[in-house]
Structures are given as C-alpha cells and as structure tokens.
C-alpha cells in the first residue's frame, strides 16, 4: 500500500474501528483512512446483525468512492467486502492471511465462503501449500504472494541470553507448549530467560502455568512492544510455537534481524521459509520434548546459533519488498485492465 501511494495512486483504507482506536503501524501522509465503527445497539451489535451492518455501511461508502479496485484482507472481512461490492462492478482482490481450515468459525461462515469467493477477481494466498486448500473451482484465480520483509542494515550485538516469542496470547500460538518446553530445560541453562510479547485472552491462563512451575523470574509476559519490531533487540533466539499459521511475519522479521530461529512445522509457512538444520530448526506441533531438545541445542551452542542466524539472514532476501510488490503490481494491473471506471485516470484503490 505504501508503495502504491508513493507512485501517486490514490489509496483509501477502510477499517471497522472507532475514532479512539489507534493503528499499531504508521501510514504515510496522504493515505485516506475511513473509520467505520460498529454501532452498539443491544442485541443488534452481535453476530449476523453486526455483519449485515458492516456490509451495508461499506457498500454505501464504496458506491460513493467508486474505487478502481478493492483489496481485502482477513477471512471474514473478505466475505464482507465481496458482499458489499456485489453488483457494483468493482474488481475485488481478496487475501487470505491465515489457515482457513484451522480457524474457529461459525458453520454459516464455512457454508457461505466458497460461494462468495467465486465473485473475487483474484485470491491472494501466501504459500503454495495453502493455495491447494482452495476448492478446485477457485484455484485458477489463486495467486501466491508471500509477505515482504527487508533485512536490517545494522544487526544489533547479541548480548542477552534471551529466548523471545511474539503473537496474540491465544491457543493458535502454542505458547503453553513453549512454556512447558522451556520449563523442561531451564535448569540446565540457568542464565537464559524466555520473554513472550503480545496480548490476548489467554494471558491469565499462561501466567498461571508460569506460576505453577515457579518460573516467574525466568518467563515474562510484558505485553505489546511500544515500537513494532523492537522485540528483536537484546535477544539471542526466536521461537514460533504456533499450531497453525498463514505466513508468519514474525518468523521472517526475526531472521531479518539476525536471530537464530526455531519453529513448529505447522500449516502453513514455516517449512517454506526455514531449511531445517541450515537456517533454523523445525519441530512437530505440540511436541514438548522435541521443542525442549531444540531449545537446549541452540541455547548451549553459540556457534550454531550464529550459523543459523547468518543463513536465515540470507534467506530473507527472497522476500524483499521490491520482489513482492512487483507481484502485487502485476495482479492489480490485470484486474483493473477492464474496469470501466479506471479508464483515463490514476488508480484509486480501496484498501482493507
């Protein structure tokens, strides 16, 4: 989005947030943000009524704006965007950012999604493996575009013997497994600690688990970092303990920041980023013993951590912003080529 804006395209961002909500990531000046807060009116602020209101509000805004293309992100928002544009003649490109088969959803969403996705002009999937989860009838519309990640120019010195993990404190991220694995080996590496950055509904449960193992002085949950990516500083090892993913940005960010990494071999993403034993270690999902062994191996071997860090740093070159954005540009050109509103004027894009 920043890349398109820098080229002179008109970029609008629609977000279902209130005026009081702040964005964690900064947007370039000139990008126009439309806030569409959810109305809280008794029982009509929940479930299907909330979804219908979102569809109607977004449709009204898009009819006035008449964008050349709508880019939509996240599973449920993709459905909302497609229903909002139905019959308006606006091309819609939807992007799946997670594992659609593993996400907990109401059965109605599962019924509606394959039918509504047929309306999309392109389906952006983040890995080849996840594109194969699409129904056969939709695969012709699929385009695989990974997330971009640029390498840090100046890698910080690694001094702190700290394991870091990052993500929402939810079951998907497998932090309970990580805590158990660290607990199994922490007595053998008394100088190491574990820090899990993020917020979410499982905070109390995770804190109880830490207290039950008397590791409050070794494992911390400091919340969300004030600055994106600052969790890379002052750490030596990154762990992705997820049960499922779409394409884990934090894993690439850790590698780009010069950290050695361990990841579960979850669906989807890690196995397409890490070469096991070369640029990191891959372990089975929810395998406490294998994760504990991987932690111990890297915490006790400074040379191996350095080797993995260097290999991972080189791996990220495949995901350079210029390379990834060129694929997005190609996709946008294709879907707007026949758009009757895009003739003879600069691109106006409704980004989600």
DSSP calls for 41-96: -GGGGSHHHHHHHHHHHHHHHHHHH--SEEEEESHHHHHHHHHHTTTTT--EEEE-
**Which has the higher per-residue pLDDT, 135 or 32?**
32
C-alpha distances (whole Å) from 137 to each of 141, 284, 326 are: 9, 32, 26
pLDDT (tens digit, 9 = 90+) per residue, 273-328? 999 999 999 999 999 999 999 999 999 999 999 999 999 999 998 899 999 999 99
Confidence of residue 101 (pLDDT cuts 50, 70, 90): low
Say what the pLDDT of residue 120 is.
92
Confidence of residue 345 (pLDDT cuts 50, 70, 90): very low
**Which has the higher per-residue pLDDT, 44 or 271?**
271
Q: Residue 179 above 70 pLDDT? A: yes
Do domains 2-148+320-351 and 162-318 share one topology? The answer is: yes
Q: Residue 340 above 60 pLDDT? A: no
Give the DSSP H/E element, type plus range, for residue 250: helix 249-256
Give the DSSP H/E element, type plus range, for residue 34: strand 32-35
Superfamily of domain 162-318: Glycogen Phosphorylase B; (3.40.50.2000)
**Burial per residue of 249-267, b for 16 or more beta-carbon CB atoms within 10 angstroms, e otherwise:** bbbbbbbbbbbbbbbbebb
Distance CA 216, CA 89 (A): 57
Please give the average per-residue pLDDT across 26-54, as a whole number: 76
Average pLDDT of the chain? 86
Contact status, residue 134 vs residue 142, Cβ threshold 8 Å: yes
Distance CA 248, CA 167 (A): 10
Taking the C-alpha atoms of 273, 277, 282 and 283 in order, what is their torsion angle to the nearest 10 degrees?
A: 170
**Which has the higher per-residue pLDDT, 207 or 21?**
207
Confidence of residue 344 (pLDDT cuts 50, 70, 90): very low
Confidence of residue 170 (pLDDT cuts 50, 70, 90): very high
Annotated domain spans of the chain: 2-148+320-351, 162-318
Q: Residue 90 above 90 pLDDT? A: yes
Distance CA 2, CA 63 (A): 24
Contact status, residue 268 vs residue 126, Cβ threshold 8 Å: yes
Q: Give the residue from 203, 243, 232 showing the smallest Cα distance to 220.
A: 203
Distance CA 271, CA 290 (A): 16
Sign of CA pseudo-dihedral 44, 48, 54, 59: negative
Q: Give the residue from 59, 94, 103 showing the smallest Cα distance to 74.
A: 94
**Residue whose pair of structure tokens reads 């890349």 in the numeric block:** 3
Say what the pLDDT of residue 227 is.
83
Task: Kindly report the CATH number that applies to the domain delimited by 2-148+320-351.
Answer: 3.40.50.2000
Rounded to whole angstroms, the maximal C-alpha distance in the chain is 68
pLDDT (tens digit, 9 = 90+) per residue, 215-239? 999 999 999 988 888 899 889 999 9
Q: Residue 71 above 50 pLDDT? A: yes
The reported pTM is: 0.77
Confidence of residue 347 (pLDDT cuts 50, 70, 90): low
Identify the weakest region by mean pLDDT among 15-19, 138-142, 143-147. 15-19
How far, rounded to the nearest angstrom, does the alpha carbon of residue 70 sit from its chain's CA centroid?
Answer: 19
Confidence of residue 343 (pLDDT cuts 50, 70, 90): very low
Rounded to the nearest 10 degrees, what angle do helices 302-315 and 249-256 cross at?
110
pLDDT (tens digit, 9 = 90+) per residue, 249-271? 999 999 999 999 999 999 888 99
Contact status, residue 338 vs residue 68, Cβ threshold 8 Å: no
Computed over its alpha carbons, how large is the radius of gyration of the chain?
22
Say what the pLDDT of residue 21 is.
72
Q: Cβ–Cβ contacts within 10 Å for residue 149, how many?
A: 22
Q: What are the residues whose beta carbons fall under 8 Å from the beta carbon of 288, sequence distance 6 or more? A: 177, 180, 181, 184
Length of the chain: 352
Say what the pLDDT of residue 157 is.
62
Confidence of residue 44 (pLDDT cuts 50, 70, 90): very low
Contact status, residue 31 vs residue 349, Cβ threshold 8 Å: no
Say what the pLDDT of residue 115 is.
79
Distance CA 159, CA 170 (A): 30
């Amino acid at each position: 989005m920043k890349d398109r804006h820098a080229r002179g395209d008109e970029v609008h961002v629609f977000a279902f947030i209130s005026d009081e909500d702040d964005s964690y990531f900064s947007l370039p000046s000139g990008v126009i943000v439309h806030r569409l807060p959810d109305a809280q009116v008794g029982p009509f602020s929940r479930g299907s009524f909330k979804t219908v209101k979102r569809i109607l509000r977004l449709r009204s805004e898009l009819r006035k704006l008449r964008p050349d293309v709508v880019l939509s992100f996240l599973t449920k928002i993709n459905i909302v965007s497609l229903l909002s544009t139905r019959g308006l003649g606006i091309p819609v490109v939807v992007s799946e950012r997670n594992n659609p088969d593993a996400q907990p959803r109401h059965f109605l969403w599962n019924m509606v999604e394959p039918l509504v996705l047929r309306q999309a002009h392109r389906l952006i999937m983040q890995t080849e493996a996840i594109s194969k989860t699409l129904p056969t009838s939709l695969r012709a519309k699929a385009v695989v575009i990974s997330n971009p990640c640029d390498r840090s120019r100046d890698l910080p010195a690694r001094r702190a013997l700290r394991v870091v993990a990052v993500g929402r404190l939810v079951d998907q991220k497998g932090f309970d497994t990580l805590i158990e694995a660290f607990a199994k080996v922490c007595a053998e590496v008394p100088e190491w600690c574990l820090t899990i950055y993020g917020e979410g509904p499982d905070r109390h449960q995770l804190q109880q688990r830490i207290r039950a193992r008397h590791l409050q002085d070794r494992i911390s949950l400091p919340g969300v970092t004030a600055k994106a990516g600052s969790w890379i500083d002052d750490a030596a090892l990154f762990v992705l303990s997820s049960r499922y993913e779409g394409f884990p940005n934090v894993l690439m960010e850790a590698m780009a920041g010069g950290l050695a990494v361990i990841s579960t071999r979850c669906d989807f993403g890690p196995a397409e980023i890490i070469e096991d034993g070369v640029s990191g270690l891959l372990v089975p999902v929810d395998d406490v013993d294998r994760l504990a062994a991987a932690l111990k191996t890297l915490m006790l071997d400074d040379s191996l951590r350095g080797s993995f860090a260097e290999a991972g740093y080189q791996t990220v070159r495949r995901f350079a912003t210029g390379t990834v954005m060129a694929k997005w540009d190609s996709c946008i050109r294709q879907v707007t080529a026949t758009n009757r509103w895009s003739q003879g004027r600069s691109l106006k894009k409704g980004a989600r």
